[in-house]
Structure 1
Amino acid sequence: MESEDAVSGLIDRFYEAALHPELWRETLEACARVFGAEGALMLPGPDAPLELACSPFLDAAIADGLGRGWLAHNPRVLRGIPAMRDPARVLTEQHIFSPRELDHLPFNAEYVNAHGLRHFAGCYLVPAGGRSLMLSLERAPRSGAFTPAEVEAMERVVPHLQRAGRLALRIAEARAGSTLEAFDLLRCAGLLLDGAGAVLRMNGRAAALMGAGLTVLQGALIAQHGPSNAALGRLIGSVLGGAVGPRRGSLGPVCRPVAVPRPVAPGALPAAPLLVHAAPLPGAAGDLFQQARAVLLIVDPAEAHPPAEGLLRELYGLTAAEGRLARMLGDGRDLGEAAVALGVAVSTARTQLKAVFAKTGTRRQAQLAVLLAGLGRGP
């Protein structure tokens, strides 16, 4: 281990990363260096809707573990959570594996050892059973196992790291909550989904629509109309990367909005179906403490008009210029008219339109117009 000053500096870096999630990778690299490890990673418990992150040294090992399924049934996590009855404890491989298991258990023999690693020391960053987030320091055989003195020194630091972890969670929750507040201001019904597709939160407008063809059952948003429910599942799967799960790959293509019929009372005329749109939550991909990974927007077409630029920027990540152009096209103007109105060259407007297509998952102006017509529900 490095000096006490280095350990104090590391604690400060954890608090800084809690405020600025883009710093977690370099913070993990510093953590590994301070505690004499080759690498460090943060890994969620089996039920935690959080992201995994690691220092650069572990990139290849983590990619292999995710790709071949080793980390889906990680015995370190499955054995470690019951073993850490004291949330301030630091656990090593010696606490959960026998010497023979370190050499012959498939997870160790075929995965950990194959990547030139062997020893680890782990602790809770956020203690919550299966929904925990853990910090693990990784050592190669040449570096030797963590000694009792090193473990004791790490345990003195754990309370500080856990306070930083709780702070990071609260900040991530506040950021997600601000998205729902923005939808409220725009008079939109919004729901936040975690990485497994479960509903985390919804605003009051969304809650008021539950029962009108949509409901939340065991954490999942369900359409009461069978074909619409299947389409809704595909929509959610697409925005979470094609394979719904807490540790998914890159985002897949954006699916078309789903029309959900509303129940019709006897003798009443049928109302227009609700439209459900989905988009990745802006900024969520870079924050491993962010449980909310996507947003669903429920639109009543009977109340629709061209969407506000702020909504387009919030939902699809459009720039201000792209939002203005998209809204004009939604009003029925062609590209040349919009360019003149915006005071830009047609070539500039065409470049902006390509960016709008890419961000909204559309390919032609007609598709974009249909999307905006269904989405429109500005203030």
Structure 2
Amino acid sequence: MNQASMHGVIRGLYEGILDPGAWQHSLRALTEMAGTAHASMMVWDTVRDQVTVNEIVNPVEELFSTYENDFQAVDPAKAFAPRLVPGAWYIDARDLGPHAMARHPFYCDFFNRFELRSYVACLVERQPHYEVYFSMQRALSQEAFSGEDTRALDWVIPHMRSAIAMRDRTLGLSTLAALSARLLERLAFAVAVYTPDRRMLLANTAGERWARRLDPAGKTGDWHLSRGFADMLQAACNPGRPVAAQAARATDASGAQAQVLVLPLPPTHILASHWQQPAAVVVVHEADAPSILLETVLRDLYALTPAETRLATRLATGEGLPDASRQLRIRHETARTQLKSIFLKTGCGSQAQLTHLLSRLAATLEGN
């Protein structure tokens, strides 16, 4: 086994994050290295006790459909699987033994019918509800697998695990982005998510249109902001002390106006955790556009609970905490506890700062 072949296999696994053909090429190369008849990735749904075979090398449709439909339930490897840790191998000739293999219906009625003698399976990934295995099979004309065979392939398993994790993460991000884009399109206002260097991560159609107005790539635009857009993004994305809320007025030559609100994306938000970098949410409310509810924005952007949202909206009107708790008919101590949670979620450090954030937000959303 030469280094060039090994590097080719590893490269194909990582390229397979986006290109299934590259992953298949790596599996095929592994079968050639190990001298096997077939190879596949197998997913065991441990809740429904159902094994699905996919990404097959040298596929024989009847072989794998017969396994899934009739013989996966009596696969002797299942009895050994709970003892495995990720990276460990099940080797039938070693774990089950040649005598048991000769009598077992899995081999007598299934494997031998398809001229197969032996197989191995490595636990690549174990999750709460499913497990992923890399499996190889050898023909009747070949020797049964041994520990030496699997040790010769141990180097590839960590790369499989990493590539699978990266592929799952990429798929999750793609799904999240597609879902977020569909939801954003339903909003009646422009919204976009930016990095500190003004790179747009996500936006609805209205947000993309405003991106050219807010940041015209060094050119003079038709719209002018009362504050520098780049400075607002930098302040919102400051990892040490992000500015809780900033507002600017946008005007064009014809006198049309819009309110631009820049908010830091909370570090606990799912988008922030996926992108793993500071980001800012930019909301643009045009003067003639329908208003949106402050309560909805507080819930969606800052994950405030209904009770916290009710308190926050009372504070946005300028009420103090004692008056707000009295109007909401809650104890002052309860209101203080809720306020501390609101501080934590919005990044504010005082009631004055929170009131400033909420008043700016309410004014922008109402188009004032």
Rg bigger for which structure?
Answer: 2
Task: State the TM-score, normalizing by the size of structure 1.
Answer: 0.48
Work out which structure has the larger RCO, using CA pairs closer than 8 Å and 6 or more positions apart in sequence: 1
Higher strand residue share: 2
